[in-house]
Amino acid sequence: MADYGPAAPHGPDMSGQHPSMVNPQFDMSEDEARVFSRLLKPDDSYDENGVYWADMGWFKRARFVLSTDYAEYKREGASVWEMFKKDPLSPVSFYFRNMVLPGAGLGLEGYVLFSIGNLKPLFQKGFPACWGTKAGQGGACNDTWLAAIEYMEIVGIIFGQILVGVIGDWLGRRWGLIQDATIMFIGLLMLTAMWGVTLNGWIICYVWSLFFYGVGVGGEYPMTATSGMENAVGSGKVSTKEDRLHRGRKVTSAFLMQGWGQFFNQVLLILLLLIFHHGSGNPPYSEVAVQWTFRISFAIPAVGTLWLVYYRTYKMKSASKQLQLQKKKSNVTGYDTQSLKMTFTHFGGRVIATAGAWYMNDVFFYGNKLFQSEFISVVTKGSPSIMPGWLYNLINVGVSLCGYYLASFFIDNKLYGRKHMQTVGFMMDFILFVIPAFKLDYFTDPANIKGFQAMYFLSSFFNQFGPNSVTFIAAAEVYPTAVRATAHGFSAAVGKLGALTAAVLYNYIDTQTKFYVVPWFGLAGVVLSVVFLPDTTGLDLKEQERRWALIRAGRGHEYHGVAVHPKHLSWWERSRGLGKQYDADADYAQRVQEMRKEWEVLMQEKADEKSGPLDQNDWEDLEHEFSHEVQEYFKKTSKSPILAGQEKQVPLLDGKRESDSDDTINEKRVV
C-alpha cells in the first residue's frame, strides 16, 4: 500500500477537519492569512487590506492603479538597464523573442494581405489591356475574375478562420500554427510563380493563389491570439504577474506586427519599382518591370515564412500546454463539443459583442480607403504616377503604427483598458467620418484639403488605438480555453464579412453615399461595446477558468470570484443578475479549500506512481504546482490521509472522508 512517508506534524486541529473544509465562512487563522494572502491576493490586484482593485472607490482605485503601474514601469526600466549594461543589444533581442516572433505570422500575412491593394494600381498601369478596358469591349480579362481578386481573398480568410479555429481547439495550438505557416508558404510560392497562357488565365491563377494563401492568413488570427495569451498565463495553480499586468500588451504587441508587415511591403514595392523601372517611379511602366516588382515582392516573405514553419515545428513544442491541461481536467480527448454548446448558452452576449463589433470594425477598416482615394485624387490632381499614392499610404501606415503601439501601452491600464479603448475608438471614427459626409465638397476642395487629411490620418490612428486592436484580443480573452480558438475564429470570420460587405457595397454606390453609410457602423460598434462587451482588463484568466469549470459541471451559481465582479461583466450580464454572485470572502475560503484538495490528490498520484513513501525530491517536484510554504501549511493542518498499512482515503467536497479505490481517485479531483 502506498504512503506519503512519515506522518506530517499537525496543527492545533488534529481532526483533519480544518474550518475552511467545513464552513467557507470562517475566521482566518493568522498562519493561514500569512500563507495565502500573498498567494491569493497579490499586491498588483489587492491593496494592503486585501481589497480587490475594482472594489475600491474611484479616487482610491486611481491612486492604487497609478502607484502599481509606476512601480512596475520602474521595475521593468531597471531590468532593461541591467540587460543593457551586460549587453547593449540584449533589449533588442528580448523584444525580438517576446514581441516579434509571436507575431511573425501576422507580420508576414499583413505584408502580403495589404500588398493586394498596393499592387492594384501598378497592375492597372502595367496591363491596361486587362484592367483598362471591359471584357465586352475587347478587354483581355473577364470583369468577374477581376472583381474576384478582392472577394476570393476574403472568402479564403473566412474559411481559414473557422477551419483552423476548430483545429486549434481540437488538435492543439501548435498544430494550427504549423499548418498556417505551411499553407502561407505554399501560397506565396503560388503567388510568386503564377502564370497563364493569356492575361485572363494569369488573373484566374492570381485569384486562386490568393484564396489558398487566405486560408493560412485566416488561421493566423485565432492561433496567434490564443497561443500568445495562454503563454502569458503560466502553468501553476495561480496566475502570474505577467498575466495580470501584461497579458494585453503581449497579445497586442504580436498583433501590431501586422502593421509592420504593411509598412515593409510598401517600402519594398517602392524600392523594387525604382530598381526595375530604371530609377524612376513615373509611367509608362513596362510589363517586365511590373512582373519583376510583384514577383520579387512575394518571393521575399516566402523565405521568412519557410523559416516560420521551422521555428513553429521545433521551437514551439509547448504551445498547446494550457489546452492540454484544461482537457485533462475536463476528461476530454478530442473536440470539446459540450463546451462549445454551453458557450453559446452562457456567453451568447459575448458572442454578439466580439463578432458584431469585429464586423463593424472591418467595415470601417475597409472604409478608410475612402479617405485615402479621395485625398490622393485631390493632392495629385490626376497624376498618372502611382508613387504619390504609395508614399501617402506609407505615411498612413506610420500613423497606424503609432495607434498600435499606444494601444499596447494602454490596453492593460485598469483605468482605461479594453472596453473604454474600443468604445472611444468607435466613437472617434464615427465622428471623423460623419463630419466630411455632410461637407464632402468643402473638405475635398484643394483649399481645405489639410482638414480632410487630418481626419484621414486620425481615423487610421483611432482605428488601431481602438477597435482593431481590442477586437483581436477580446475575441479570445472572454471565452474559456476549451473553445477559445473556435470562438476567436468565428468572431474574426464575421468581421471579414464586414470587409466583404464593404467591398461589394462600394461597387454599387458613389463616394458621397459611401460617406453617408459608413459612419453608422461606428455608432453601432459603440452600442455593441457598451451593452455586450465585458471588460477583462486586469482579470485573472485562471479565475475565468475556475468559473467555467463550475459552469460546465452545472454548478455555475457556486462561483463567487472576481470573474463575476460587476466590473468584469457586460451591462447585459449584470442586468441578468450575474454580478450578485460575487462574494470576496466566500471565494477566498473556497480557493483555499480547492487548493488543499488538489494538493492531496496530487500527493496521492505521486505516491501511487512510486508505490512507496515520498522523499525530498518528490516534494521538490510538486513545487511547480504549489509553493513550499503552501505545502508545509497543508501538511500541518491536514491529517495525512495515507499511512503505511492503512487504506487509502480521499477528501470529498464537503470535507468528509471515505475510502476509495484507485479507479475513483481522479473523479474526486477538484478543478
501 alpha-carbon distance from chain centroid: 24
The predicted model gives 84-101 an average pLDDT of: 90
Reported as a single tens digit per residue, the pLDDT across 486-520 is: 999 999 999 999 988 887 887 788 888 888 888 99
Give the C-alpha distances (Å, rounded to integers) separating 547 from 387, 475, 483, 555.
55, 18, 15, 9
Categorize the per-residue pLDDT at 656 as very low, low, confident or very high, splitting at 50, 70 and 90: very low
- Cis ω for the linkage preceding 42 (within 30 of 0): no
Torsion sign (Cα): 110, 113, 119, 120: negative
Pick the range with the lowest mean pLDDT from 60-64, 204-208, 324-328, 461-465: 324-328
Closest among 311, 229, 197 to 536, alpha carbons compared? 229
Q: Using CA atoms in the order 217, 223, 227, 230, what is the torsion angle rounded to 10 degrees? A: 130
Categorize the per-residue pLDDT at 235 as very low, low, confident or very high, splitting at 50, 70 and 90: very low
Reported as a single tens digit per residue, the pLDDT across 125-173 is: 888 888 766 554 557 888 888 888 878 888 999 999 999 888 888 888 8
Supply the pLDDT for residue 138: 52
- DSSP H helical segments within 46-89, as ranges? 58-86
Angle 17-19-21 from CA coordinates, rounded to 5°: 65
Supply the pLDDT for residue 645: 33
Question: Quick one: what percent of the chain has pLDDT higher than 70?
Answer: 83
d(CA 52, CA 615): 39
Question: Quick one: what percent of the chain has pLDDT higher than 90?
Answer: 44
Cell of 453: 487629411
Which helix (H) or strand (E) segment holds residue 109: the answer is helix 104-113
Supply the pLDDT for residue 559: 95
Cβ atoms of 106 and 257 within 8 Å: the answer is: yes
3-state helix/strand/coil string of 16-37? CCCHHHHCCCCCCCHHHHHHHH
Amino acid sitting at position 470: V
Supply the pLDDT for residue 271: 94
Contacts of 644 (CB under 8 A, 6+ apart): 1, 3, 613
What is the CB neighbour count within 10 angstroms for residue 144?
10
**Reduced to 3 DSSP states, what percent helix, strand and coil does the chain have, rounded to the nearest 5?**
75, 0, 25
Indicate the SS3 state at residue 657.
strand
Across the chain, mean pLDDT equals 82
641 alpha-carbon distance from chain centroid: 43
Closest among 496, 480, 453, 485 to 172, alpha carbons compared? 485
**Which CATH architecture does the domain made up of 95-532 adopt?**
Up-down Bundle (1.20)
Cell of 647: 487504506
Reported as a single tens digit per residue, the pLDDT across 403-425 is: 999 999 999 999 999 999 999 99
Cβ atoms of 641 and 657 within 8 Å: the answer is: yes
Beta bridge partners of 651: 657
d(CA 308, CA 310): 5
The residue among 452 and 613 whose pLDDT is bigger is: 452
Cell of 93: 533581442
The predicted model gives 317-326 an average pLDDT of: 76
Checking if the pLDDT of 327 tops 60, the result is yes
pTM comes to 0.84
d(CA 599, CA 602): 5
Closest among 593, 591, 597 to 560, alpha carbons compared? 591
Cell of 137: 469591349
Number of Cα atoms under 13 Å in the Cβ half of residue 266: 22
Cβ atoms of 517 and 509 within 8 Å: the answer is: yes
What phi and psi values does residue 659 have, to the nearest 5 degrees? Answer: -75, 140
Checking if the pLDDT of 561 tops 70, the result is yes
Indicate the SS3 state at residue 7.
coil
Reported as a single tens digit per residue, the pLDDT across 518-552 is: 899 999 999 999 999 999 999 988 899 899 999 99
Closest among 291, 383, 631, 340 to 480, alpha carbons compared? 340
Supply the pLDDT for residue 615: 67
d(CA 611, CA 634): 22
Reported as a single tens digit per residue, the pLDDT across 382-393 is: 678 888 888 888
